[in-house]
Homo-oligomer: A and B are copies of this chain.
C-alpha cells in the first residue's frame, strides 16, 4: 500500500468542482498513481466524479489499477459510460472483473457493452482458473505474412491504440473454417518484434523476417508454465494456442509478475500449513480462511495421535523409581522432550524447504536423489556435530538444579550423553528425512511441497521421541 501523495489535492478539486483540474490530474499522471490517490476514503461516487472528466481511455486505465474489491463497488454504482469504459479496458483485466461480480450485476453490465466485447468476455471467461487461458488477453497485434516491413509499421499505427502490446507482432495464416462452418482461430506462423521491423529494410517481407520457431503455451496448461517460460526466454509476451496452433491470445510480462508473487505466497502458506486463499489478507472471506487453516490444524492434530501412542508406550519406563537401586525415578528426563522435538522439527524443515524449493525452481530433479542424499548426509553430520558440542556444554553447565537433585548418584554423565546423543541423532534423522521425503514424493508424481513444513515436523516428532527414549534405555 503505497502512500497516496495526491489525495488531499483530489479532495480539494472535488469540493471545488474543478472539472478542468480533475481532468488534468487524471491525464498527466500515471494511471497507477491516479488510482492510488483515489483511496478507500473516497466513496465510489466520488471516484467516478474524479475520473469522469478524463477521456474514456484514461478512465479505463485508471480503473484497471483500482483494487479488485474497489472495481466491484464501482460497477455496482455504475455510471452510463461504464459500457464504453469496459470496451477500452485490457481484455484480461475486464474478464477478471466480470468474474468477481455478483450474478445480477454481471448480467446488467453485459447489456451495456457491445456485441463483440460481450463475445470476447464470454470466450475468455470459459477458461479454468489457474490455467494459461485465464491469464491471457485477446488484444494482441497481428499481421499477415505477405506485408512488407514498411506496410507492417503503417498497419501497427492503426492497431496500436487498442493493443496490449505492439512490441511483438504475431503472424497468422488465412482464417479456416471448422467442420461445423464457424471460423477456427487463425494459425500462428511466426512472431516478429517491433525492433526487428524497425531494423529491417522497408521492402523486406514479414514472412522472411519472422521467427518461425515460436515458444507458445497451450490454453489449458497450468499458470506456473507461464512463469517458467518467461524466466527462461526473457520475453515480453507469450502466445497462447489451441491444439492446432491456432492463436487464442497472449500473456504479457506484467501478468507474470503477479503469478510469480501469487505462487510464492501459496508456497509460503503451504509451508506453514495454510491452504489456498483467494484475495488479500483483509479481503479474503473469513469462512475460506478458517477452512484453509482448520483443515490443516485438524489433520496435524490427528497425526499427533501417533506421538501420543508412542509417548504412552515409553512413559512407563520413566514412571516411579521402583527398578532403580537408589529409588529415584527418571521422570526428570521429560524436561528435555521439548528440546528434542524442536531440534528434529527445525533440522527437518530446513532440509525439506531447501530441497522442495530447489525442485520447484528445477535446480534438481528426483533422479538426483543420490547426490542430494550424499550432500545432506554430510551436512546433517556437520550440523549434528555442532549441536553435539553445544549439548555437552549445555547439559554439563546449565542443567537446572530442580533436575540435578533427581539425577541418580551415578547418572550425571549418563544424562549428559543421553541428551547429547539424542540431539545429534534427532538432528541427523530430521535433516535426512526432511531432504529425502520431498524427493520421494516428487518421484511418484505428487507435489513435493506437501511434505514440507508441518508434516515433516510431525513425522520428526515421532522419530524424535523414539530416538530419545531408545537412547535413555541404553544409558539408564
Tell me the A residues contacting B by CB distance below 8 Å: 1-2, 28-30, 32, 153, 156-157, 160-161, 166-167, 194-195, 198-199, 213, 215, 227, 230-236, 253-254, 256-258, 260-261, 263-265, 267-269, 271-274, 277, 280-282, 286, 289-290, 293-294, 296-298, 300-302, 304-305, 307-309, 311-313, 315-316, 318-320, 329, 331-332, 334-339, 341-343, 345-347, 349-350, 352-355, 357-358, 361-365, 368, 371-372, 375, 378-379, 382-383, 386-387, 390-391, 394, 398-400, 402-403, 406, 423, 427, 452-454, 457-458, 461, 465
Contacts and interface: CB of A to CB of B under 8 A. Distances in A.
A297 B264 contact: no
Given A329-B320, A458-B342, A227 B308 contact: no
A29 B402 contact: no
Contacts of A382: 286, 290, 294
Contact of A161 (B199, B338, B350, B358): B199
B320 A335 contact: no
A352 B268 CA distance: 11
Contacts of A329: 319-320
A261 B358 CA distance: 12
Contacts of A358: 280-282
Contact of A194 (B194, B227, B342, B383): B194
Contact of A30 (B233, B282, B300, B339): B233
A342 B375 CA distance: 29
Q: Which of A28, A282, A362 has the most CB of B within 10 A?
A: A282
27 contacts: A1-B362, A157-B199, A160-B198, A231-B257, A236-B253, A257-B260, A260-B261, A263-B264, A268-B357, A271-B272, A273-B350, A274-B350, A286-B375, A286-B382, A290-B383, A301-B343, A308-B339, A311-B334, A311-B337, A312-B400, A312-B403, A313-B402, A315-B335, A318-B334, A319-B406, A320-B329, A345-B345
Contact of A280 (B265, B290, B361): B361
Chain A interface mostly: helix
Nearest to A321: B320
Contacts of A319: 329, 331-332, 406
A59 to B, nearest CB: 17
A312 B341 contact: no
Nearest to A166: B195
A331 B312 CA distance: 10
Nearest to A158: B199
